[in-house]
Amino acid sequence: MKITIVGTGYVGLVTGACLAEIGNDVFCVDVDPRKIEILNNGDVPIHEPGLQEMLNRTRTAGRIQFSTDVKASVEHGDIQFIAVGTPPDEDGSADLQYVLAAACNIGRYSNGFKVIVDKSTVPVGTARQVRRVVEEELKARGLAESDEHRFSVVSNPEFLKEGAAVDDFMRPDRIVIGIDDDEDGNRAREKMKRLYTPFNRNHERTLYMDVRSAEFTKYAANAMLATRISFMNDLSNLADSVGADIEAVRRGIGSDPRIGYHFLYAGCGYGGSCFPKDVQALVQTARENGKRLRILEAVEEVNHDQKNVLVNKIVERMGEDLRGRTFAIWGLAFKPQTDDMREASSRRIVAELLARGADVRAYDPVAMQEAERVFALDLAERPEDMKRLHLVGTQHEALRGANALVIVTEWKEFKSPDCGYLKSALKLPVIFDGRNLYEPESMAEMGIDYYAIGRPHVELDSHGDRIV
């Protein structure tokens, strides 16, 4: 099938590569010539495991192309995926300007029946706006009543986890398709069914529903996951106060099959491109409709405060004035297996440490280039602070001369550290762990002063017995 992907960001690239992998003829278009140049040179502008190799295969086979030619892209695809960004507006609602610009181009250059697929995460009612924009463009061309230029707008939200997106797309747990129940919708349904048939070989994964319900489903899914994270983070702070171990609590409640273990890990707050903006957008949608989503308002508040928890622990241990202190940071991306720094907890933590006069030596396995760009923007008006931020090449280099280690992202290579080297490299054997990677008792036995999230701080006496 001939497929067009509008937007070569995270969702667009993964969608295009995976659809080309199963034999489709894919045309990826973007208005950013820099991105297209990178892709045409054989590189990938984002870090996602398996994506580079898949693009190499499909590019060599001639099943995927990259261009800034909007007219050619519309003429190419019978199915037009809109996979552009929907950043938060000032009031927290989703900014649809790029989605509607893509719709405008489709109407302007349409050369036959088109299935227009909203792949971007968009609020309820967006499909109606896309339809209106396309209709206006066709009307301007005198084609509003043309049977040849009819179209259908479909909602097909993505459920991709950064760091596992290729596998998620190729082995989906569900495929949600929102479609109109009319003649054009029936034509679109047949095309979408054919497109996704390879993913339904073993059992049917496709869930058909009305368009508005499909748009709502994406936001509801992300809001639920964000709620679980903030719930555990809120409990972890209470665990700190009452002396409970949030890890034991997690195992205790996660063993209940009605609850499960997924997204029940306490930490220093969620980030990324999805959860923060999608929770905000859903809260704003409720306000626009005269409702309040009180649970999600609390989810936002908890997550905002959670990004300060590690800094609060550092201040409690070392004092408010951190001048003359150096902190090693392990992990900058918002999660492992990605270089995404959007809403990353590290940004708040680093900024707070620098504001208190500390020096910071930071390392991340893949996000260093993106971190350099992001911190240059974050600290543009604080040049003196920027001078005290050092992005280094290895995790061991980050430790040298530091007063303490702060763990922000749970990369696998941080899970089994050389504690002997760690103690020798640090001026003080102190760890502030925002992801609960280690066991407090084991750290105490090795002579490391260990502070985690919602886990007891363990001290041993001279005989190795725990001090209560």
Q: Are residues 185 and 291 in the same domain?
A: no
Do 40 and 179 belong to one domain? yes
Does the residue 465 lie in any domain?
Answer: no
184 plus 102 within the same structural domain: yes
What mean pLDDT is predicted for residues 26-54? 96
Mean pLDDT of the chain: 95
pLDDT tens profile 273-284: 899 999 999 999
Q: Is the pLDDT of residue 22 over 70?
A: yes
Active-site residue, 274 included: yes
Task: Give the separation between CA 236 and CA 359, rounded to whole angstroms.
Answer: 28
Does 269 share its domain with 367?
no
Tokens of 122: 């968009």
Same domain, 26 and 150: yes
Q: Which residues contact 206 (CB under 8 A, 6 or more apart)?
A: 174, 175, 176, 177, 193, 196, 200
| Residue 72 shares a structural domain with residue 180 | yes
Residues annotated within the binding site for NAD(+) are 30, 35, 86, 121, 162, 277, 342
461 falls within a domain: no
pLDDT in tens, 248-258: 999 999 999 99
Residue 462 has pLDDT above 70, yes or no: no
Domain count along the chain: 3
Residue 131 lies in a domain: yes
Q: What span, in angstroms and rounded, lies between the C-alpha atoms of 17 and 166?
A: 9
Residue ending a domain, choose from 276, 305, 334 = 305
Please enumerate, by residue number, every residue annotated as part of a binding site. 30, 35, 86, 121, 159-162, 218, 263-267, 271, 277, 335, 342
Task: Please give the pLDDT value at position 89.
Answer: 84
Instruction: State whether 273 and 331 are in the same domain.
Output: no
110: pLDDT strictly greater than 50: yes
Section 171-183 average pLDDT? 95
Q: Which of 257, 276, 305 is the last residue of a domain?
A: 305
Catalytic hit among 18, 28, 268, 274: 274
Q: Which helix (H) or strand (E) holds 166?
A: helix 165-170
Give the pLDDT band of residue 218 (cuts 50, 70, 90): very high
Answer yes or no: do 296 and 313 share one domain. Answer: no
> What does the pLDDT look like over 118-134, one tens digit per residue?
999 999 999 999 999 99
pLDDT at 463: 47
Residue 90 confidence class, pLDDT cut points 50, 70, 90:
confident
Residue 19 belongs to a domain: yes
| Residue 325 sits in the same domain as residue 250 | no
Residue 459 — pLDDT band, cuts 50, 70, 90?
confident
Where b means 16+ CB within 10 Å and e means fewer, 91-105 reads ebbbebebbbbbbbb
362 beta partners: 329, 391
* The pLDDT value given to residue 464: 54
Phi then psi for 169, rounded to 5 degrees? -70, -45
Residue 114: give its domain's CATH number. Answer: 3.40.50.720
Same domain assignment for residues 34 and 180:
yes
Give the pLDDT confidence score for residue 467 in this predicted structure.
65
467 domain-assigned: no
Q: Given a cut of 90, is residue 150 above it in pLDDT?
A: yes
Q: Model pTM?
A: 0.92
pLDDT more than 90, % of the chain: 93
pLDDT, residue 202, reads 82
Residues making up the binding site for substrate = 159-162, 218, 263-267, 271, 335
Helix, strand or coil for residue 297?
helix
Residue ranges making up the domain that contains 144: 2-209
Across-strand partners of 407?
330, 433
pLDDT band at 115 (very low <50, low <70, confident <90, very high): very high
Does 459 map to a domain? no
pLDDT exceeds 90 at position 191: yes
